[in-house]
């Protein structure tokens, strides 16, 4: 369906609106089935142009599995544009007609018109008139503003400025100035921004989608280049927020470093996930930032802001490779915060902490589901027990183990191994973008992991493609490891192992195994890297097609880790 087919006009000569049905799969009870937004113009051709980025943004949200949110308070740019449209353009057109009629009549009527322009100019900021204009603008343009909101007050302020500019130019025209123009101010700002509008197909969101398609295609080739779908979806949210800040019709080459710095500084005043905060979610970024400072809310981290800038910057780098934008300056250059990464500790579990975990209620017996941290007689035989243990013995990440299929645990060359798969078609992924083996340690086998896998195989009717942990479901980002990751952090806190943001978590198993591979297995760091699934980037590493580290070699290395001082007694009988 074309953009034109999404347009409809209210009234014979009224404003054009764009509409789009919400896909059936995304519809929810009580929520609108049809999205609708004003284009802010009664000109059909202009409406067609303005409809394109609106539809592109909605389509991007649908692809991300989300319905366009409730409209927020318009940005300052939106309010200024509305004020100029209603308070300047409309009034100038009206005054031009009156001036022409008076000039044609001449004599006393022309003199009365001249006096009237002076009177009108002196009353340019009449509050009653301004509020009437504001209400008309809200109604005609579909602006979402409450009468008692800060945005409404701003609209009135901008309307007063625009109306004064219109009446001033009318006064000057009536007193002999030929084709007077407004002297700076709001009208000039809006016109400059209008001149910087993107051509059809060249809005930031449209260009982002083209860049995203290329990144996904590159990732599909070998998994080394480009970006995965989930990463693209997260990038899209950043770009959508940035576009809402600078204007969704801006030409990419019109955005200045000053505006990027402004976006960075406003973002710094906001709390994390500000768009879902009850006090801020219907405000634009600027108003939300002001409100957040009034409420003394936590601030977005410098590292998060740098991530935003690092999402916007590659789009400009990509565009500069196209003749259309060759030589364009990247406005993000030099605006990242320096020296803000700081320490991000990922400490290993020490032997005493491992013993505290393994002797805790989850493994020794707990009182009830939901109270796994309280001692009792109930034992568990699902992901809550096995994912932490498999992470401990393999150094794998929670998400990599949570996604396992029954057939991923199998023998290869006589060695029991876990196939940690990267397979987009099966919804499995690894951070490196490559599949890898992990040898099953004899202690993990003794605890009963292989017996658990066989039980799961029988429950699945011998289906090797069945999930090893069928209770787990992907979140809205397609991440099956989200629930166990969150659950494990909460459990560690409940048993007194974790306190605040101390870096202790499932990744501590990975660091603990690295230390024991160095100490007990006497491996060099390049060998530790192979055990943990870090590909070695070297000239030799690029030769041939076999993966680095055979299963038998990995088995020998993993078995050399003796887990000295760790008490596994009782774990094998807890099923």
Question: In this predicted structure, what is the pLDDT of residue 31?
Answer: 67
Q: Tell me the per-residue pLDDT of 444-495, one tens digit each, with 9 for 90 and over.
A: 999 999 999 999 999 999 999 999 999 999 887 778 988 999 999 999 999 9
> 236: closest CA among 60, 104, 85, 359?
60
pLDDT, tens digit, for every residue of 120-139?
888 888 888 899 888 888 87
Token pair for 461: 């009717």
Instruction: Express each pLDDT in 24-78 by its tens digit.
Output: 778 776 666 788 888 877 888 878 877 877 887 777 677 666 665 544 557 777 8
Does the domain at 351-573 match CATH 3.40.1000? Answer given as no
pLDDT of res. 538: 47
Q: In what order do the strands lie in the sheet with 7-9?
A: 7-9, 16-21, 34-38
- What would the pLDDT profile of 138-172 be if each residue is shown by its tens digit? 876 666 677 888 888 889 999 999 999 999 999 99
Give 276's DSSP letter: G
Question: What pLDDT score does 183 carry?
Answer: 81
Q: How would DSSP label each residue in 486-536?
A: HHHHHHHHHTTS--SSSS-STHHHHHHHHHHHHHTS---HHHHHHHHT---
Which residues lie across from 121 on neighbouring strands? none
Q: In angstroms, how far apart are the furthest CA atoms of the chain?
A: 110
pLDDT value of residue 126: 86
Q: At 564, list the tokens.
A: 């000295």
Residue 436: partners with Cβ closer than 8 Å, 6 or more residues away: 420, 430, 533, 547
- pLDDT attached to residue 334: 93
pLDDT band at 200 (very low <50, low <70, confident <90, very high): confident
Pairing state between β 7-9 and 436-439 = unpaired
User: Is the whole-model pTM more than 0.85?
Assistant: no
pLDDT tens digits for 170-190? 999 899 888 888 887 899 888
Beta strands in 40-87 (DSSP E): none
- Strand locations in 182-281, DSSP E? none
Position 247 pLDDT exceeds 60: yes
Q: Give the pLDDT confidence score for residue 64 in this predicted structure.
A: 62
Checking phi first, is residue 448 left (phi over 0); if not, alpha (psi -120 to 50) or beta? left
Contact predicate 437/420, CB 8 Å: yes
Where residue 264 falls among pLDDT bands split at 50, 70, 90?
Answer: very high
Structure tokens at 464: 């090797």
Identify the CA nearest to 53 among candidates 202, 195, 193. Answer: 202
Locate 429 and state its tokens: 């992924």
C-beta of residue 204 within 8 angstroms of C-beta of residue 198: yes
Alpha carbon 445 to its chain centroid, in Å, reads: 41
The enclosing H or E element of 418 equals strand 415-420
Q: Counting beta carbons within 10 angstroms of the beta carbon of residue 142, is it exposed (0 to 12), middle (13 to 18) or buried (19 or more)?
A: middle
Domain residue limits, the chain: 76-195, 196-342, 351-573
The contacts of residue 553 (CB under 8 Å, 6+ apart) are none
For residue 539, name the pLDDT band (cuts at 50, 70, 90): very low
pLDDT tens, position by position, 300-355: 989 999 999 999 999 999 999 999 999 899 999 999 998 776 555 578 888 999 99
Nearest to 163, CA basis, from 83, 103, 227: 83
């Amino acid at each position: 369906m074309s953009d034109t087919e999404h347009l409809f006009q209210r009234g014979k000569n009224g404003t054009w609106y764009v509409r789009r049905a919400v896909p059936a799969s995304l519809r929810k009870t009580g929520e609108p089935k049809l999205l609708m937004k004003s284009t802010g113009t009664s000109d059909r051709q202009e409406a067609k142009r303005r409809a394109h980025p609106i539809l592109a943004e909605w389509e991007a949200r649908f692809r991300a599995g989300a319905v366009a949110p409730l409209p927020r308070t318009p940005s300052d740019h939106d309010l200024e544009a509305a004020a100029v449209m209603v308070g300047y353009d409309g009034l100038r057109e009206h005054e031009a007609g009156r001036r022409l009629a008076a000039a044609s009549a001449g004599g006393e009527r022309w003199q009365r018109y001249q006096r009237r322009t002076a009177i009108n100019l002196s009353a340019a900021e009449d509050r009653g008139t301004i509020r009437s204009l504001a209400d008309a603008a809200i109604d005609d343009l579909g602006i979402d503003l409450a009468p008692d909101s800060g945005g409404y007050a701003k609209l009135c302020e901008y309307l007063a400025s625009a109306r004064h500019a219109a009446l001033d130019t009318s006064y000057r025209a009536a007193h002999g100035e030929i084709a007077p123009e407004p002297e700076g101010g709001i009208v000039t700002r809006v016109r400059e921004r209008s001149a910087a509008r993107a051509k059809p197909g060249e809005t930031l969101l449209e260009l982002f989608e083209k860049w995203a398609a290329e990144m996904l295609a590159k990732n599909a080739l070998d998994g080394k280049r480009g970006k995965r779908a989930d990463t693209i979806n997260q990038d899209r949210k950043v770009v959508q927020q940035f576009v809402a800040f600078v204007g969704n019709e801006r030409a990419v080459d019109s955005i200045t470093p000053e505006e990027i710095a402004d976006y960075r500084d406003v973002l710094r005043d906001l709390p994390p996930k500000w768009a879902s905060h009850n006090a801020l979610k219907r405000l634009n970024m600027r108003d939300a930032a002001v409100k957040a400072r009034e409420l003394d809310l936590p601030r977005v981290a410098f590292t998060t802001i740098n991530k935003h800038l690092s999402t916007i910057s590659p789009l400009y780098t990509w565009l500069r490779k196209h003749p259309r934008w060759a030589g364009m300056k990247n406005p993000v250059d030099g605006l990242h915060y320096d020296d803000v990464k700081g320490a991000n500790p990922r400490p290993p579990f020490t032997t005493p902490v491992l013993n505290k975990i393994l002797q805790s209620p989850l493994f020794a017996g707990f009182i009830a589901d939901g109270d796994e941290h309280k001692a009792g007689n109930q034992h568990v035989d699902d992901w809550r027990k096995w994912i932490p243990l498999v992470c401990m013995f393999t150094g794998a990440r929670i998400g990599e183990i949570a996604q396992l299929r029954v057939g991923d645990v199998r023998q290869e060359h006589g060695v029991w191994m876990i196939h940690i798969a990267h397979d987009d078609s099966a919804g499995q992924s690894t951070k490196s973008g490559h599949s890898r083996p992990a040898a099953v340690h004899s202690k993990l086998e003794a605890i009963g992991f292989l017996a658990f896998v066989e039980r799961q195989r029988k429950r699945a009717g011998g289906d090797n493609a069945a999930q090893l942990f069928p209770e787990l479901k992907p979140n809205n980002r397609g991440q099956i490891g989200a629930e166990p990751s969150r659950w494990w952090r909460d459990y560690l806190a409940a048993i007194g192992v974790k306190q605040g943001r101390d870096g202790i978590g499932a990744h501590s198993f990975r660091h603990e195994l690295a230390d024991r591979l160095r100490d007990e297995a006497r491996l060099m760091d390049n060998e530790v890297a192979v055990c943990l699934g870090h590909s070695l980037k070297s000239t030799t590493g690029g030769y041939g097609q076999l993966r680095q580290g055979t299963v038998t070699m990995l088995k020998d290395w993993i078995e050399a880790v003796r887990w000295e001082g760790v008490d596994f007694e009782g774990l094998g009988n807890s099923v």
